[in-house]
Amino acid sequence: MAKTKSIHGEWSSRFAYILAATGSAVGLGNIWKFPYITGENGGGAFVLVYLGCVLAVGIPIMIAETMMGRRGRQSPINTLSTLSTEASVNKNWHYLGWMGVIAGVLILSYYSVIAGWASAYVFKAIFGGFSSDAMQVKASFDELIASPLQLIFWHTAFMIATMSVVMRGVRGGLEKAVQLLMPSLFVLLIILVGYAMTTGEAYFQGLSFLFSPDFSEIDSDAVLTAMGHAFFTLGLGMGAIMVYGSYLPSGVSIAKTTLFIAGADTIVALLAGIAIFPLVFANGLEPGSGPGLIFQTLPIAFGNMTGGWLFGVLFFVLLVFAALTSSISLVEPVVAWMVENRGFTRVKASVISGIAIWVIGVGVALSFNIWSEFKIFDKTIFNFLDDLTAKVMLPVGGFCIAIFAGWMMQQKHVKDELDMPEQQYQIWKFLVSYVAPAAVFLVFLHVLGIF
């Protein structure tokens, strides 16, 4: 029988959990990644596929992953061992926990570098203010990216910040940070959307780019990118939401909280898109210009608008915090495991995992400049890690989670944990047992050219 409480502590309330889990979901994925991959993949049709994946694949798997965490009450690795024993299935399922730990480490190693860009922009905003000229804004971004020293400096600062929050544990560290910051970020995005509306014709061009689908724009890789992003943006498939679920008090409705979190996450991403694409068109920029997109567009808005200095500073501060509340969820599975199985203190576990992630991150930072010619499978270190995690590891992890929750666990236990009205339960059960795994499987077959 599963324990009723986690040894690592519990969220103090339902609200605290919602904040932490929304903090994990809302991050660079929504504001930095969603716009640039939408730009690279032609807009509307990509957005539609992404929304479909969130609904049919992301939400059911998110419910499953949280449910498993709460039932197991331990780090994902040990939760999977416990649950496989409970369900009398093969113990090898705990390797799924291991894959998640590795995915978390790899994701954070590049996430921290990008969060470092955002941190650098806090200082650019404070000391330089932003230029309203698109060429100058771009030059300033290029200059940052070209400097190994600056990138490593900011990556280091961000990793130290992440690990010092993680050290303090569930309540002390994670909860407090999120309460004020999430709502503020939301308000600033609305202000940016307000600015985007002043671009006139370009505003409508931006909206039409985002919302009028042209399916000739997307191929199988775009579909995989959209599906991978649904996992990435919700923080699924590697145990982050599983470990957060393990700190969730019993009695809180997993389905309701999940719907709220996924809804908030999607709205933030769409708002970011609505803020950014009008600026892209108003300034004759390229929608597909890649990972630098927000850093080459938003400063123009801040440079132009009244109060832009203040809003610019605030925006990048909040972006860094949004990244921070996501990154702590990426290391929590490995830290929880080290505490459980190695008997480390949280501090020791945080330092060790932090250093390992930092080292990989240095490679990522250099892949934007002096190592840009160094390729793994024809990709830079950054692109390789991004593709390996978002397009392979997370979907595979999510697929396995769906299979485990839908086919391995006993119905009675699942129902016990979810405590949903029968009809809703049946809908979820159908989605998680058939729709979600089939969707992931077909997309993989399609990409491999088999289907």
Span near ligand TRP by CB under 6 A; candidates 26-34, 55-63, 189-197, 439-447: 26-34
Tokens 């609904």 belong to residue: 55
Q: Which residue is nearest to ligand TRP (CB)?
A: 29
Nearest distance from C-beta of residue 311 to ligand TRP, angstroms: 21
Span near ligand TRP by CB under 6 A; candidates 28-36, 74-82, 202-210, 409-417: 28-36
Question: Cα(238)–Cα(401) distance, rounded to whole angstroms?
Answer: 9
420 Cβ contact partners less than 8 Å away, ≥ 6 residues apart: 253, 255, 428
112 contacts ligand TRP (rule: CB under 6 A) = no
Span near ligand TRP by CB under 6 A; candidates 161-169, 232-240, 350-358, 368-376: 232-240
Cβ closer to ligand TRP: 35 or 303?
35
Span near ligand TRP by CB under 6 A; candidates 2-10, 168-176, 227-235, 356-364: 227-235
30 contacts ligand TRP (rule: CB under 6 A) = yes
Span near ligand TRP by CB under 6 A; candidates 27-35, 144-152, 175-183, 345-353: 27-35
Question: Cα(14)–Cα(34) distance, rounded to whole angstroms?
Answer: 28
Cβ closer to ligand TRP: 232 or 277?
232
Question: Cα(312)–Cα(104) distance, rounded to whole angstroms?
Answer: 30
Cβ closer to ligand TRP: 233 or 383?
233
Give which of 430, 438, 441, 442 is closest to 63, Cα–Cα. 430
Residue window 146-165: x/- pattern of binding to ligand TRP, with contact defined by CB under 6 A: --------------------
**Segment 172-201, which members bind ligand TRP (CB under 6 A)?**
none
Any alpha helices (H) in 124-219, and if so which ranges? 134-145, 148-167, 176-197, 201-211
SS3 242: helix
Tokens of 204: 């409508």
**Segment 304-363, which members bind ligand TRP (CB under 6 A)?**
326, 329-330
**How many residues in the shown chain lie near ligand TRP by CB under 6 A?**
16
Nearest distance from C-beta of residue 116 to ligand TRP, angstroms: 14
Nearest distance from C-beta of residue 275 to ligand TRP, angstroms: 16
User: Dihedral, CA atoms, 61, 63, 67, 70, nearest 10 degrees?
Assistant: 110
367 Cβ contact partners less than 8 Å away, ≥ 6 residues apart: 374, 380, 381, 382, 383
Q: Tell me the one-letter amino acid at 364.
A: V
Nearest distance from C-beta of residue 402 to ligand TRP, angstroms: 15
343 phi-psi bin (left φ>0, alpha ψ -120 to 50, beta other): left
Give the one residue of 233, 246, 296, 367 binding ligand TRP; rule: CB under 6 A: 233
Nearest distance from C-beta of residue 233 to ligand TRP, angstroms: 4
346 Cβ contact partners less than 8 Å away, ≥ 6 residues apart: 166, 167, 168, 169, 335, 339
Nearest distance from C-beta of residue 103 to ligand TRP, angstroms: 7
Cβ closer to ligand TRP: 108 or 285?
108
Give which of 26, 336, 324, 27 is closest to 157, Cα–Cα. 324
10 Å CB burial of residue 91 (0-12, 13-18, 19+) is: exposed
Give the one residue of 19, 20, 21, 25 binding ligand TRP; rule: CB under 6 A: 25
SS3 379: strand
Cβ atoms of residues 169 and 15 within 8 Å: no
> How many Cβ atoms are within 10 Å of 109's Cβ, its own excluded?
26
Nearest distance from C-beta of residue 182 to ligand TRP, angstroms: 13
Cβ atoms of residues 31 and 322 within 8 Å: yes
Nearest distance from C-beta of residue 329 to ligand TRP, angstroms: 4
Nearest distance from C-beta of residue 106 to ligand TRP, angstroms: 10
State the residues that interact with ligand TRP by CB under 6 A.
Answer: 24-25, 27-30, 107, 232-233, 235, 238, 240, 326, 329-330, 394
